[in-house]
C-alpha cells in the first residue's frame, strides 16, 4: 500500500512538473473562462486536485457522469480543500432526480420526505447527493409570520442551486473529472481573501433562515475567516429572530458548534455579537458566575483538544459541563435548606436544572442518563476510605466522571490534591492503594443502616447503573 501511495504521489508530482514545464515553454496557461453566469476556474489556477476527493464522492460523480448527468462535489468540502483543511464529509450536487440517482447505484437510499436526498453508501462512507434546487422567492414561499421560509423544495438548475446557498465560499462546484471549479458568486476570490460573505442581501437571507446568523459565526470561527462587514452588520438587529427557530434545529446547530473543534472561539464570537442569548440561554447565567465561566471555558477547550487529537467526544459530557454550575448552585441552595439529605438534594437539583433547560433548549432526553451519572459520581470522589474508591474505579462511567472531576480541579472548584490522589490511585498496585486509603471515619455503618429507610436511601453510596 505504501509503495502504491508513494507511486501515486510521484506520478502526480511529475504531472504537476510537466504542466509547469509546458506552461513555461509555451507560455500558455489555462485561463478562467465564463460559461453562462459562472466563472470556470481551471485546476492550474485553483490548485485543488481530485486526489483530495474521497473514494465515495469520486465513485458517485463518476457514476452519475457516466450515466449522462451533471455531478459536482459541492459546499463545505470544496471550500475546505481550497483552505487546505480536511473536509468532514463530501456532498454531491447533480441534475439527476433522487430516483434517477438511486437507479445508478447499488447501495443507495432516498431519505427525507419533503426534500428528498439520496445517501449512497461505500463501506463506511456515505455520500449525500442532492438534486439542484432553487430558492423560492419570498412572495411565493410559505413563510411564518416573521418571514422564515418553511418550504424550500423545488428542483432547479446549477445556477439556481448556487444562489440558494448561504455563503459565497459554500457555493463552489468542483468537477472531479475536469478538475474545474464553477463559481457563480465570486466565492473563489472571497476564499482567497479569507472573507465569509453572504450571497444576496444578508437582511433578506437572515429573515428567510435565522440559523444563517449562527452559521456565519460558526464557520468564521472554524475556518478562521473574517465576516464581511455587510454580512455581519444586520446580525445585532436581527438576532431576535432566532427565537422563532424550532428547538430541534437550534439544538442541531448548537451541537455542530460545540463539536466543531473550535467551540471556544465560537462561544467567544457568539458573546461578542451577543448571540449566545438565543442560543443557549443558560450560558448567559453560567458565564456570569466567576467559577462557572472558567469551568465552561476549560470544558470547551478540553473538547476542542480532544477533537484535534481525534479522540471521542461525547455531547452528554459537554452538556453535563455546561450545566454543572447550575446544578451545583441549586444543590447548594437545597442543602442549605436542609429539607433532604445531600444526595436526595442532588437528585432534585439535577431534575430542576434539566427541566428548566428543557423548557428553553431542547437537549434530548437521551443524554440525561449519562449527564446524571457524571454529576452523581462527583461527590463520590470525596470518599477515599474503605472499599468505596475501588468500587468507583470499577464503574463503567468512571473515566468520564474522572475527566469531569479534573476539570473541576483545574477550574479551582475543588482542591487539585483530590485530582492528584485519584490519578495516583488509578495507577497504583494493591499494596500502594491500601496505603493511600484514608482512615475510615466510621460513618459507613451508620449510612448502611440508613439505607433501609426510604427517605434517606440516597445517602448511601449512589446506585449507578
* Active site amino acids: 89, 91, 166
Partner that binds at residue 212, options Mg ion, ligand ATP, none, CB closer than 5 to 8 Å by kind: ligand ATP
Confirm or reject binding of residue 302 to ligand ATP (CB under 6 A): no
d(CA 301, CA 450): 42
Confirm or reject binding of residue 261 to Mg ion (CB under 5 A): no
Confirm or reject binding of residue 46 to ligand ATP (CB under 6 A): no
What long-range pairs does 73-76 form, CB within 8 A, spacing at least 24?
73/173, 73/174, 73/176, 74/161, 74/171, 74/172, 74/173, 74/174, 75/165, 75/170, 75/171, 76/170
Confirm or reject binding of residue 209 to ligand ATP (CB under 6 A): yes
Q: At what angle do helices 290-308 and 315-337 cross, to 10 degrees?
A: 160
Return the residue nearest ligand ATP (CB atom).
76
Contact between 461 and 388 under an 8 Å Cβ cutoff? The reply is yes
Residue whose C-alpha is closest to residue 54's, from 95, 92, 96: 92
Q: Which is nearer to ligand ATP, 256 or 335 (CB)?
A: 256
Q: How far is the CB of 209 from ligand ATP (least distance, A)?
A: 5
Confirm or reject binding of residue 76 to Mg ion (CB under 5 A): yes
Question: CB-based burial of residue 410 (10 Å sphere; 0-12 exposed, 13-18 middle, 19+ buried)?
Answer: middle
Q: Which three cell numbers stand for residue 218?
A: 460558526
Task: Pick the stretch among 63-71, 206-214, 333-341, 371-379 that binds ligand ATP (CB under 6 A).
Answer: 206-214
Confirm or reject binding of residue 76 to ligand ATP (CB under 6 A): yes
| C-alpha of 456 from chain center | 41
Q: Cα dihedral sign for 307, 309, 314, 318?
A: negative
Confirm or reject binding of residue 75 to ligand ATP (CB under 6 A): yes
Confirm or reject binding of residue 190 to ligand ATP (CB under 6 A): no
Site for ligand ATP in 77-106 (CB under 6 A): 88, 91
Confirm or reject binding of residue 165 to ligand ATP (CB under 6 A): yes
Q: How far is the CB of 245 from Mg ion (least distance, A)?
A: 19
Contact between 283 and 290 under an 8 Å Cβ cutoff? The reply is no
Task: Pick the stretch among 182-190, 204-212, 284-292, 417-425 that binds ligand ATP (CB under 6 A).
Answer: 204-212
Confirm or reject binding of residue 63 to Mg ion (CB under 5 A): no
Partner that binds at residue 165, options Mg ion, ligand ATP, none, CB closer than 5 to 8 Å by kind: ligand ATP
Partner that binds at residue 209, options ligand ATP, Mg ion, none, CB closer than 5 to 8 Å by kind: ligand ATP
Who contacts 228 (Cβ-Cβ below 8 Å, separation ≥6)? 190, 195, 196, 197, 198
Return the residue nearest Mg ion (CB atom).
76
Site for ligand ATP in 210-269 (CB under 6 A): 211-212, 215, 256
Contact between 232 and 226 under an 8 Å Cβ cutoff? The reply is no
Q: Which is nearer to ligand ATP, 83 or 285 (CB)?
A: 83
Kindly list the distances between the CA atom of residue 135 and the CA atoms of 9, 65, 230, 438, in Å, as whole numbers in the listed order: 41, 25, 21, 67
Provide the binding-site residues for ligand ATP, judged by CB under 6 A. 75-76, 88, 91, 165-166, 170-171, 209, 211-212, 215, 256
Provide the binding-site residues for Mg ion, judged by CB under 5 A. 76
Amino acid at each position: 500500500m505504501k509503495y502504491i501511495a508513494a507511486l501515486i504521489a510521484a506520478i502526480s508530482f511529475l504531472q504537476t512538473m510537466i504542466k509547469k514545464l509546458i506552461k513555461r515553454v509555451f507560455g500558455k496557461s489555462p485561463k478562467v473562462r465564463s460559461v453562462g453566469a459562472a466563472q470556470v476556474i481551471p485546476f492550474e489556477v485553483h490548485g485543488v486536485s481530485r486526489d483530495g476527493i474521497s473514494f465515495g464522492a469520486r465513485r458517485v460523480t463518476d457514476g452519475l457522469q457516466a450515466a449522462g448527468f451533471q455531478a459536482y462535489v459541492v459546499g463545505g468540502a470544496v471550500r475546505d480543500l481550497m483552505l487546505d483543511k480536511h473536509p468532514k464529509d463530501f456532498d454531491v450536487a447533480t441534475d439527476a432526480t433522487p430516483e434517477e440517482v438511486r437507479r445508478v447505484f447499488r447501495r443507495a437510499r432516498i431519505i427525507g420526505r419533503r426534500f428528498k436526498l439520496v445517501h449512497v453508501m461505500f463501506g463506511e462512507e456515505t455520500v449525500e447527493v442532492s438534486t439542484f434546487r432553487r430558492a423560492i422567492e419570498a412572495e411565493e414561499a410559505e413563510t411564518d409570520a416573521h418571514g422564515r421560509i418553511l418550504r424550500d423544495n423545488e428542483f432547479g438548475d446549477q445556477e439556481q442551486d448556487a444562489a440558494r446557498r448561504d455563503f459565497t465560499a459554500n457555493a463552489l462546484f468542483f468537477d472531479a473529472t475536469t478538475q474545474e471549479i464553477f463559481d457563480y458568486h465570486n466565492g473563489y476570490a472571497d476564499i482567497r481573501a479569507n472573507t465569509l460573505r453572504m450571497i444576496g442581501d444578508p437582511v433578506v437571507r437572515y429573515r428567510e433562515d435565522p440559523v444563517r446568523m449562527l452559521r456565519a459565526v460558526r464557520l468564521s470561527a472554524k475556518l478562521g475567516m473574517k465576516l464581511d462587514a455587510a454580512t455581519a452588520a444586520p446580525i445585532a438587529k436581527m438576532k431576535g429572530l432566532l427565537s422563532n427557530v424550532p428547538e430541534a434545529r437550534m439544538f442541531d446547530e448548537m451541537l455542530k458548534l460545540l463539536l466543531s473543534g473550535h467551540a471556544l472561539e465560537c462561544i467567544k464570537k457568539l458573546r461578542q455579537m451577543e448571540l449566545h442569548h438565543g442560543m443557549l440561554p443558560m450560558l448567559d447565567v453560567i458565564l456570569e458566575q466567576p467559577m462557572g465561566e472558567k469551568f465552561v471555558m476549560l470544558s470547551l477547550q478540553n473538547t476542542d483538544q480532544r477533537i484535534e487529537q481525534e479522540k471521542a467526544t461525547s455531547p452528554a459530557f459537554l452538556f453535563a459541563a455546561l450545566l454543572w454550575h447550575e446544578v451545583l448552585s441549586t444543590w447548594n441552595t437545597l442543602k442549605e435548606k436542609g429539607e433532604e439529605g445531600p444526595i436526595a438534594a442532588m437528585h432534585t437539583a439535577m431534575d430542576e436544572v434539566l427541566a428548566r433547560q428543557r423548557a428553553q433548549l431542547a437537549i434530548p432526553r437521551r443524554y440525561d442518563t449519562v449527564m446524571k451519572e457524571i454529576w452523581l459520581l462527583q461527590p463520590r470522589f470525596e470518599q477515599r476510605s474503605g472499599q468505596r474508591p475501588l468500587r468507583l474505579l470499577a464503574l463503567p462511567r468512571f473515566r468520564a466522571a474522572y475527566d469531569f472531576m479534573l476539570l473541576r480541579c483545574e477550574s479551582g472548584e475543588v482542591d487539585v490534591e483530590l485530582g492528584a490522589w485519584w490519578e495516583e490511585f488509578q495507577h497504583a498496585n494493591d499494596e500502594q492503594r491500601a496505603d493511600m486509603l484514608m482512615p475510615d471515619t466510621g460513618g459507613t455503618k451508620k449510612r448502611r443502616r440508613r439505607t433501609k429507610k426510604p427517605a434517606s436511601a440516597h445517602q448511601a453510596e449512589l446506585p449507578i447503573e
